[in-house]
Amino acid sequence: MRPEIKKLISANSQHGDLSVQWCIPDIVIKERKYQMEQKANELLPSIQKLERLLGHNLNITSEILKDRVEKAIQNQIDEIGVHVIPLNTQDVDWKRLIDDAVARRPPFQAGEKEKGFRDAILANTFLQLVADSPTTTSVCRLVLVTDDGLLYEFVEESTRKYANVRILADLNELEGLINTLVSTVTEEFVKDIKEKVQLYFFEKKNENTFYYKDKIRQKIREEYGMELERTPSKDLIRENGTWYIGAPAFMRKERQRLYWMTLIKVKAKLYKYVYAEPSIEQAPESAVGGLDAVQYMIDKVSGFVVSTDVTRRSEAGAGDTKFQVYWSVNLSQNKRLTLPRIEKIEHAGTDWKTF
């Protein structure tokens, strides 16, 4: 489980005025178990080589790895206190599921091959939880977090009649919802003011917004310059691109002051230099004698040119460097936003995808 998820669960499991139960569909656990077992088995040949090198049998088999993966998963489930929710196969509308799969309706992906069966199982597990839970908003709220667009669309449409069900795209939205519920403001209040707060913090090319006036980009560069230059490997070159400003997540309210967190992502590309064999080509008569000696060597006898410029730059990956900007603003009685200030800026890591 990702560190940010564990952190969120740990920080929000013991609210005095809000009981939170964290659930994982059984299909997610089984999929993760499969992935971990595959990775573990990929390492077996290396272990066998080590045994031959040491002349000692470490007695690590695929069966042992499978058992250790099972225990590792169970230990983490117990540690963070999540509930594994199984699917009741008796209550699944299998005819509809089959029809959706054949017609490539969400959560199934359109295309020649059917994709989405595990997402459909996950969705049905959540829908069964919704059906078995109280529907009164003040008593129970249910939230599904997913960044899968088709799954999001399917579950949102399937739960449209439930006022106490929310489908969220990321952890920031979930954290904002929890903070809304445990604060003195209503969820409707935060929803109504969120767009106004977002435009107050940042609007493209609007120099009067807080992002420009307080020089937040410059502050991030000054405080985290090394993180904006860091690469996953020393042989790679980094080039930063567009800065993306996320929607604000509500944190808390203290008297008339509202506290928010805005996620900023800096897009970056990775490059590496590829070294090729020197190229040899026949030199035109007009070129002989007039070429830069640093770049070429001339064989006067044969009339051939050998190029020594043998490097080219190749794209090697991309990533997002994330920063969490914690800030606050005062809300006047006529709902004007005033007196903004930065509380702190934290580096939230970089997600790299290398080719």
Q: Report DSSP letters for 6-17, one per residue.
A: HHHHHHTS-BTT
Residue that wins the pLDDT comparison between 298 and 217: 217
Q: How many independent structural domains does the chain possess?
A: 1
In a domain, 216, yes or no: yes
In a domain, 182, yes or no: no
Residues in CB range of 355: below 8 A, 6 or more apart: 315, 316, 317
What pLDDT is stored for residue 18 in this prediction?
79
Residue that wins the pLDDT comparison between 86 and 256: 86
- Check pLDDT > 90 for residue 282: no
Of 4-18, 50-64, 239-253, where does mean pLDDT reach its minimum?
A: 4-18
Question: What tokens appear for 124 in the block?
Answer: 């049905």
In a domain, 343, yes or no: yes
Cβ 88 vs Cβ 125: under 8 Å: no
Residue that wins the pLDDT comparison between 287 and 339: 339
In a domain, 123, yes or no: no
Residue that wins the pLDDT comparison between 128 and 299: 128
What pLDDT is stored for residue 273 in this prediction?
85
Out of 208-212, 295-299, 332-336, the most confident range is: 208-212
What pLDDT is stored for residue 300 in this prediction?
44
Question: What tokens appear for 70 in the block?
Answer: 């099972």
Q: What is the pLDDT of residues 56-112, one digit of tens each?
A: 888 888 899 999 999 999 999 999 899 999 999 999 999 999 999 999 999 999 988
What pLDDT is stored for residue 212 in this prediction?
97
Across 37-41, average pLDDT: 92
| Side chain identity, residue 38 | Q
What pLDDT is stored for residue 185 in this prediction?
81
In a domain, 269, yes or no: yes
In a domain, 76, yes or no: no
Handedness of CA 291, 296, 301, 304 (dihedral sign): negative
Question: Taking Cα atoms as reference points, which of 244, 276, 249 lies closest to residue 262?
Answer: 249
In a domain, 102, yes or no: no
pTM for this structure? 0.66
What does DSSP assign to residue 255? T
Across 166-176, average pLDDT: 92
- Check pLDDT > 70 for residue 144: yes
H-helix or E-strand containing 344? Answer: strand 337-354
Instruction: List the domain range (segments joined by +) for residue 340.
Output: 193-355
In a domain, 35, yes or no: no
Question: Taking Cα atoms as reference points, which of 105, 144, 147 lies closest to residue 25?
Answer: 144
Q: What is the pLDDT of residues 101-111, one digit of tens each?
A: 999 999 999 98
Q: What is the pLDDT of residues 322-342, one digit of tens each?
A: 999 999 999 887 789 999 999
**pLDDT classification of 288: cutoffs 50, 70, 90:** very low
Across 293-305, average pLDDT: 47
What pLDDT is stored for residue 281 in this prediction?
55
